[in-house]
Structures are given as structure tokens and as C-alpha cells.
Amino acid sequence: MFGSRTDNPEQPQRASIGSLLSSLPDLIRRLIRGEIALARAELTAKLKAAGVGLGILAAAGILGFILLEVLIAAAVLGVATALPAWLAALLVAAALLVIVAVLALVGVRALKRGVPPVPEETIKNVKSDVRAMKGESNDPAEERL
């Protein structure tokens, strides 16, 4: 009893296999909860980016509708009067066309960032966790040896 591990404070105590195995379900449960939280955060970010893209595309659609109205007004003014009135309407329509094109390009880019809403980082982490549980290496350099 006098030289046992429990009497020597300098030696770290090791947990028994039984206690390690009994703590395994709790560790797995915490790991799964952590991966779910990561997936939720990743999906939220991607859906937010997609929402911004959809909002910008909606603005481009509204301005596109206004563009159509201005073009119709330009056609009416062009027939009704001489050059100055319809030329002014066409210039306004051209400016709206440029704005619509820019908004549409920005909206498409923002939408592409959020779609598809796949939690890529979480999938990579889960695959790594599965490899670790199987006892496989996570280091690509070790796998080549």
C-alpha cells in the first residue's frame, strides 16, 4: 500500500478502461451536439447570403418593371411629339437599364454564395470524426506511408 499510485502525488493517475468506456457515450453525445451546432451555424450563414441575393434580385425585378414603363412612355412620347420628349425618356430608360444590369449581376453573385446550402465544414468534420473512431489517420502524409 505504501508505494502505490494513489499515494504518490507526482505520478498522474490513469483512468481505468471501465471508466473510459463508461464516459464514451457522453463524449459521443457531446461530439454529435457540437457537429449539429456547427451545421446549424453554417446553414444559417448560407441561407442569409441567399436571402440577400434574392432581395437584390427582387429590386432588379422592380426596376426592370419601371424600365418597361419608361420604354412604353418613350414610345408614346416619340409618336406624339418630336425629338426632345422621347429622347429624354430613352435616356432615362438607358440609365435604368444600367442600374438593373448592375443589380442583377450583384444579386446573382450573392445568390451563388449561399446556394446550395450544404454545411461543407460540418461534413468534413464528421468524416474526420468517423475516421478517428475507426482508428484511421487524419493526416494525409501518414496515409501515404
In a domain, 55, yes or no: yes
In a domain, 137, yes or no: no
**pTM exceeds 0.85 for this model:** no
In a domain, 110, yes or no: yes
Using the predicted structure, report yes or no on whether residue 53 has a pLDDT greater than 60: yes
In a domain, 90, yes or no: yes
Angle between helices 17-80 and 120-134 in degrees, nearest 10: 160
Instruction: Please give the tally of structural domains in the chain.
Output: 1
In a domain, 63, yes or no: yes
Exposed, middle or buried: residue 11 (CB in 10 Å: 0-12, 13-18, 19+)?
A: exposed
Mean predicted confidence (pLDDT) in 95-122: 83
The secondary structure of 21-60 as a DSSP string is HHHHHHHHHHHHHHHHHHHHHHHHHHHHHHHHHHHHHHHH
Helices (H), the chain: 17-80, 83-114, 120-134, 140-144
Query: The domain containing residue 83 runs over which residues?
Result: 22-126
Neighbours of 38 (CB within 10 A): 15
Mean predicted confidence (pLDDT) in 45-60: 88
DSSP assigned state of 136? -
User: Between 136 and 54, where is the model more confident?
Assistant: 54
In a domain, 131, yes or no: no
In a domain, 6, yes or no: no
